[in-house]
């Protein structure tokens, strides 16, 4: 597609990055299930290893099936390039890896997925990195948390589990003033509902596992590079701006310009961290993305109907969905997520912890799983599962208190979902 920016989202989600296979004419992207690739000659091999020529060397680094997925997601997000990897958590480490160093920190939102809170509060300490957790509704607090050792700002566009919508433009303004990249996890929104780069994000990460694949078959992640950040401006990002010893002094920012971060992610990140996405997973994700807009429209439609019904139920103390007029985040929907607030929200039950457990166990259509973004409606009690490792204060800040249940609305018939919720609430409050 020679003029991709002129095409609509529905066209790009099917065609971006994909061309008929030159060898066979196959229209669907083949699964290139191969470890390595034959070089034309010794000179060709040397050029590839020196990053003087783009091509395929070894599938830990590059693979034709994965390459199509990378181009498609980058196109949908409005980015310059993308690097796929083995999971959403891998994508977060891949995003931070070129930016951080021992003693450096990242300023992050308190409203994050529980696994991300654990990764940032505990695991990254082993690299000598640290995270500062701040309420991102308070932009002054975000600015105050940034110091000379801060190397990035991180948040979710639609926060998991509460469905809170971040004011990305306000946070991007703070990050820009400090000369720092803004990294946005866009998993819950997808590029159909929100394009963080248009709001000032430098990098966008996704768990491909969720809405992008949409059918519960894949574990994968991706980092999308906006291509707009000047990595050499401040001297804070030597991995990208200074000579790289492993490539005879090559400077990624100088050599690759807008694709500096993307090339570093492949040539250094995937090479040394090895968080590779397998080609079959990439194939499944490509097929899922072909129907992304159709699914997201239905997710949003169902979520509005179901959340509105739940809000009026006697057993429910509150619903966090930003698609409801009662939500304090409802005003951000038009500016940040103009096509809808997604399909994820939480429900607070009047019966507390015990009612939540009984409610989850009583559901029949909803699947009780540690996942979201499936075509199927899913439910989980975050405080006892995904956010179990957090302190009560962290759970409360993340929107995962003990009396709260997370619901991921699927694309089934909304009336059937309401009937299932109704019978489960009756049993939970009996």
pLDDT tens by residue, 241-274:
999 999 999 999 999 999 999 999 999 999 999 9
Q: How confident is the model at residue 2 (pLDDT cuts 50, 70, 90)?
A: very low
Domain boundaries for CATH 3.40.640.10 within the chain: 8-99+181-288
* Mean predicted confidence (pLDDT) in 209-232: 97
- What's the CATH architecture for 8-99+181-288? 3-Layer(aba) Sandwich (3.40)
Tell me what pLDDT residue 169 has: 98
For residue 309, what pLDDT is reported?
98
For the four alpha carbons of 340, 7, 372 and 362, in that order, the dihedral sign comes to positive
pLDDT digits (tens, 9 = 90+) for 8-18: 999 999 999 99
Cα separation, 409 vs 292, whole angstroms: 15
Q: Which CATH class is domain 292-428?
A: alpha beta
Report, as an integer, the average pLDDT of 120-135. Answer: 97
- Say yes or no to pLDDT of 1 above 50: no
The edge-to-edge listing of strands for the beta sheet with 367-368 is: 316-319, 344-349, 404-408, 378-380, 367-368
Long-range contacts of 42-51 (CB under 8 A, 24+ apart): 50/247, 50/248, 51/247, 51/250, 51/255, 51/263, 51/267
The pLDDT tens digits for 73-98 are 999 999 999 999 999 999 999 999 99
- Tens digits of per-residue pLDDT, 113-124? 988 999 999 999
Confidence (pLDDT) at 385: 78
Mind spelling out the 3-state secondary structure of the chain? Answer: CCCHHHCCHHHHHHHCCCCCCCCCCCCCCCCCCCCECCCCCHHHHHHHHCCCCCCCCECCCCCHHHHHHHHHHHHHHCCCEEEEECCHHHHHHHHHCCCCCCCCEEEEECCCCHHHHHHHHCHHHHHCCEEEEECCCCHHHHHHHCCCCEEEEEEECECCCCCCECCHHHHHHHHHHCCCCEEEECCCCHHHHCCHHHHCCCEEEEECCCCCCCCCCCCCEEEEECCCCCCCCCCCCHHHHCCEHHHCCECHHHHHHHHHHHHHHHHHHHHHHCCCCCHHHHHHHHHHHCCHHHHHHHHHHHHHHHHHHHHCCCCEEEECCCCCCCCCCHHHHHHHCCCCCCCEEEEEECCHHHHHHHHHHHCCCCEECCCCCCCCCEEECHHHCCCCCCCHHHHHHHCCCCCEEEEECCCCCHHHHHHHHHHHHHHHCC
Q: Is 386 a residue whose pLDDT tops 80? A: no
pLDDT at 5: 54
Domain with CATH 3.90.1150.10 in the chain: 292-428
- Reported pTM: 0.95
Mean pLDDT, residues 205-225: 97
The pLDDT of 102-120, averaged and rounded, is 94
Tell me, what's the pLDDT at 399?
A: 76
Q: What percent of the chain has pLDDT over 90?
A: 90
What is the pLDDT, as a whole number, of residue 125?
Answer: 98
Range 205-227 average pLDDT: 97
Percent of the chain exceeding pLDDT 70 equals 99
Mean predicted confidence (pLDDT) in 166-176: 98
Contacts for 137 with CB less than 8 Å, ≥ 6 apart: 167
Across the range 129-137, mean pLDDT stands at 97
Question: What does the mean pLDDT of the chain come to?
Answer: 95
């Amino acid at each position: 597609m020679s003029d991709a920016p002129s095409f609509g989202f529905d066209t790009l989600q099917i065609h971006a990055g994909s061309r008929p296979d030159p060898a066979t004419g196959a229209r669907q992207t083949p699964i290139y299930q191969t470890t390595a690739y034959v070089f034309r000659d010794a000179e060709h091999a040397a050029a590839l290893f020196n990053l003087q020529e783009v091509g395929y060397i070894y599938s830990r680094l590059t693979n034709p099936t994965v390459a199509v997925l990378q181009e498609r997601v980058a196109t949908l997000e409005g980015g310059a390039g993308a690097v796929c990897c083995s999971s959403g958590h891998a994508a977060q480490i891949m995003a931070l890896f070129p930016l951080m160093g021992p003693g450096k920190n990242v300023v992050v939102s308190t409203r994050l997925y529980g696994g991300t809170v654990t990764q940032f509060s505990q695991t990254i300490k082993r690299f000598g990195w640290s995270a500062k957790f701040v309420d991102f509704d308070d932009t002054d607090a975000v600015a105050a948390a940034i110091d000379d050792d801060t190397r990035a700002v991180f948040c979710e566009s639609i926060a998991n589990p509460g469905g809170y919508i971040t004011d990305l433009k306000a946070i991007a303004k703070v990050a820009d003033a400090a000369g720092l990249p803004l990294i946005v996890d866009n998993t819950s929104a997808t590029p159909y509902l929100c394009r963080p780069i248009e709001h000032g994000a430098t990098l966008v990460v996704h768990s491909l596992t969720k809405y992008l694949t949409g059918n519960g078959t894949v574990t994968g992640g991706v980092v999308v590079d906006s291509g707009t950040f000047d990595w050499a401006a401040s001297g804070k990002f030597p991995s990208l701006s200074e000579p790289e010893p492993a490539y005879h002094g090559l400077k990624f920012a100088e050599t690759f310009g807008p694709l500096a971060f993307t090339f570093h992610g492949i040539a250094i990140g995937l090479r040394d961290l090895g968080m590779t996405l397998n080609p079959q997973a990439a194939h499944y994700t490509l097929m899922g993305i072909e129907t992304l807009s159709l699914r997201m429209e239905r997710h949003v439609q169902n979520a509005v109907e179901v959340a509105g019904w739940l809000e009026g139920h006697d057993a429910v103390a509150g619903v966090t969905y930003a698609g409801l007029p009662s939500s304090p985040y409802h005003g951000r929907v038009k500016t940040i997520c103009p096509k809808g607030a997604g399909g994820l929200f939480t429900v607070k039950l009047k019966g507390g912890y015990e009612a939540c457990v009984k409610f989850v166990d009583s559901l029949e259509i909803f699947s009780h799983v540690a996942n979201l973004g499936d075509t199927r409606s899913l439910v989980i009690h975050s405080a006892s599962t995904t956010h179990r490792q957090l302190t009560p204060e962290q759970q409360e800040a993340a929107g995962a208190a003990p009396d709260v249940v997370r619901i991921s609305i699927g694309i089934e018939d909304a009336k059937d979902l309401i009937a299932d919720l109704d019978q489960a609430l009756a049993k939970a409050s009996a």
